[in-house]
Structure 1
Amino acid sequence: MSKKRPSLKHPRARAFAAQNGRCYYCRQPMWKNDPVAFCNRYGITQRQARAFQCTGEHLRPHKDGGEVSTSNIVAACHCCNQRRHRGRKSELAPPDYRALVMKRMAQGQWHPLRLGASG
């Protein structure tokens, strides 16, 4: 029988607070518990807000022995987390992925929405 993976809930919440509610990769604001308030704040739909939901991201993947610890878990928006793991034969290291995301953000090619700095 396999061991149950530890919950990311508390490390994710700590990372969210430490990062001032901003995604580790794209620096866009995220929501943790209240999508309606987030939608009202930024004038977006709940469907649009899904991309900005806070997720826990292992810097060193669990499959490679990465632990559920404060030093290994960052808060990433759903969009960045999903894109990091989708369609790549090998994942970019977090600093390389972050550089790619920031480059694409600067070119207006990452998130379809840009949320204000008031987050």
Structure 2
Amino acid sequence: MTAKRLKSIRTSALHFQSGGCFYRGLPMWLAAPSELGLRPRNARAFQCTAEHLVAQQDGGLDTPENIVAACIFCNQRRHKRRGPAPAPKLFRAHVQRRLSRGKWHGALRVSRPQGQGTFGAEEICVS
């Protein structure tokens, strides 16, 4: 698959997911960190990536059905766990539990102004 095709699938997935990470559900940036009002040095973890639900090494294909949009942080965490990567649904539930307890990465407190389609974001520290 060409990089251009993968970028197209990732962008489509991001729009389908209303701009939110598949695992966190919170917004990501695609072209520039300023989309979320972040400074470049703090924004890398919130960049949108193409996440293969079934990893390529496990036979997953570069198809729209197998690719979702996920932030770099979540994408890397899923695949850096010991043993095989957890199933996407299980990892998503894990992330959501951690988020609800304030235990997931430098989450953004996000508000969508009523009647507006853009996100407003404020950085908060989560340890």
> What's the TM-score once normalised by structure 1's chain length?
0.86
Identity %: 43
Once structures 1 and 2 are overlaid, which stretch shifts more, 61-70 or 5-14? 5-14
For the aligned residue pairs, the C-alpha RMSD in angstroms reads 1.4
Could you tell me which runs of 5 or more consecutive residues in structure 1 were left unpaired when the two chains were aligned: none
How far apart are residue 46 of structure 1 and its match? 1.6
The residue that corresponds to 2:122 in the other structure is none
- Aligned with 2:69: secondary structure? strand
How far apart are residue 47 of structure 1 and its match? 1.9
Could you list the runs of 4 or more consecutive aligned residues of structure 1 that deviate by over 3 angstroms after TM superposition? none
Bigger RCO of structures 1 and 2 (CA < 8 A, at least 6 apart): 1
Aligned mate of 1:50, from 40, 44, 47: 44
The residue that corresponds to 1:37 in the other structure is 35
Could you tell me which runs of 5 or more consecutive residues in structure 2 were left unpaired when the two chains were aligned: 113-118, 120-127
The residue that corresponds to 2:95 in the other structure is 101
> What's the TM-score once normalised by structure 2's chain length?
0.81
> Does 1:112 pair with 2:106?
yes
Q: Is the CA contact 1:6–1:68 (under 8 Å) kept in the aligned structure 2?
A: no
Q: Is the CA contact 2:48–2:72 (under 8 Å) kept in the aligned structure 1?
A: yes
In 2, Cα distance between equivalents of 1:36 and 1:51: 14
Q: Name whichever structure is richer in strand by fraction.
A: 2
In 2, Cα distance between equivalents of 1:74 and 1:6: 17
Tell me the number of residue pairs that the alignment of Structure 1 and Structure 2 aligns: 111
The residue that corresponds to 1:12 in the other structure is 10
Per-residue Cα deviation, 1:5-47 (whole angstroms, up to 9, x for no partner)? 54321110110010011000001100000212322xxxx4322
